[in-house]
A = this chain, B = another copy of it.
Amino acid sequence: MLAPRNAARRISERARGSTLDFVGSHILSVEQFERTDIDDLFAVADAMLPYADRQRITRVLEGAILTNMFFEPSTRTRVSFGSAFNLLGGDVRETTGMRASSLAKGESLYDTARVLSGYSDVIVMRHPVEGAVAEFAAASRVPVLNAGDGANEHPSQALLDLYTVRRELADRGHAIDGLRIAVIGDLKHGRAVHSLLKLLVLFEDVSVHLVSPPGLEAPPDTTAALRERGHAVEVFHTLADGIGHVDILYVTRTQEERFASQAEADHYRGLFRVNQAIYTEHCEPNTVIMHPLPRDSRAQAQELDDDLIANPNLAIFRQTDNGVVVRMALFAMVLDVAAQVHERAQPVTWYTARRTPPSGRG
């Protein structure tokens, strides 16, 4: 695990199963993960739940420093990683925006990585340029976690998506093997979908519905591995045709910022709107609804209509909550403290009740 894919394949021939391979590794791509790695990671994520839920606290990373380097804005991913590190007891230093950077003075990513990795124990990085995080990681002296490099990869998003699939299916008595999923929307640009499809290759007997407007289909290479491994992949161009007979709807935002022009993006906005009536008419009961968020809630978009807020199968906020435990697990495994977390647990003594917000925003 955590080696280029061909190496990983060879390694997977051998007896494996230990989580030790994560220790000290960069997490740059979902392609680093074999199925046993997923199993290991998710077992640790499960163990993080009591801490993320504030049932108890742990200070196992007390004294450790995460540097959050975001060369592109991201509130949710940045705060999620930072909170996950805090929940393990560590401190967080941050830098946001190119403006604040020495890169403006002509500094190479190599130098930035050599310097910044001298200050911290682990680095989380987002960068607008594809491959930039890997280039940075190559020069870093500490583990680097890719929090998104342009249209390329955002592995912690794919992992939290898959973890959500697993938990939602478990609540319904299923495993990921045998999963039937419809991925919906802008499948051409959706980085999150592409990565999720790559991870699903690792499982057995998966059935995928690709549901998009004509012109926004998933590029062939994103599903080639699924087909090769014998998974079922079908293409649909209407919601009505594509969203039946699945366990999960995975809806995505039109990636407007990746289109050549705003006019082209506008052409697609709001084409596929999932609402309660469509859901009731076409979906099996208890079909799970996921979305990587943010979703476009402007009137002309409404990827997921407000009336779905009351639907208990809408899993989008459970999904984002899962981001914290998956990121805690990544930190715990990369920094090799997963086994110590429980040993150093303490009770929580402040108010921790979570309120239930209103269904919808009327």
**Please, what's the 1-or-0 string for A302-326, where 1 marks a CB less than 8 Å from any CB in chain B?**
0000000000000001001100100
Q: How many copies does the complex hold?
A: 3
Contact-residue size bin, chain A (C-beta under 8 Å from the other chain) = 35 or more
Bound CA–CA A83/B95 (angstroms): 12
The answer to whether A14 has its CB under 8 Å from any CB of chain B is no
With a cutoff of 8 Å between Cβ atoms, the chain B residues found around residue A99 in the complex are 73
The answer to whether A358 has its CB under 8 Å from any CB of chain B is yes
Taking a contact as CB atoms closer than 8 A, the residue among B83, B294, B353 that contacts A65 in the complex is B83
A24 → chain B closest CB, angstroms: 5
- Closest residue of B by beta carbon distance from A337: B350
Contact B115 A317 (CB under 8 A): yes
Contact A24 B353 (CB under 8 A): yes
Contact B356 A105 (CB under 8 A): no
Taking a contact as CB atoms closer than 8 A, the residue among B91, B111, B297 that contacts A297 in the complex is B111
Residues of A within 8 A of B (CB): 23-24, 54, 57-65, 67, 73-76, 78-80, 82-83, 86-87, 89, 91-97, 99-102, 104-108, 110-121, 135, 138-143, 253, 256, 293-298, 301, 317, 320-321, 324, 334-337, 340, 346, 348-358, 361
A97-B100, A142-B355, A143-B351 are known; give 4 further A-B pairs, CB within 8 A. A74-B102, A75-B102, A78-B95, A140-B357
21 sampled A-B residue pairs with Cβ under 8 A: A54-B121, A57-B63, A60-B349, A67-B79, A75-B112, A78-B95, A79-B116, A79-B120, A82-B93, A83-B119, A86-B93, A105-B253, A105-B296, A106-B295, A106-B296, A114-B320, A118-B317, A118-B321, A139-B357, A141-B354, A336-B351
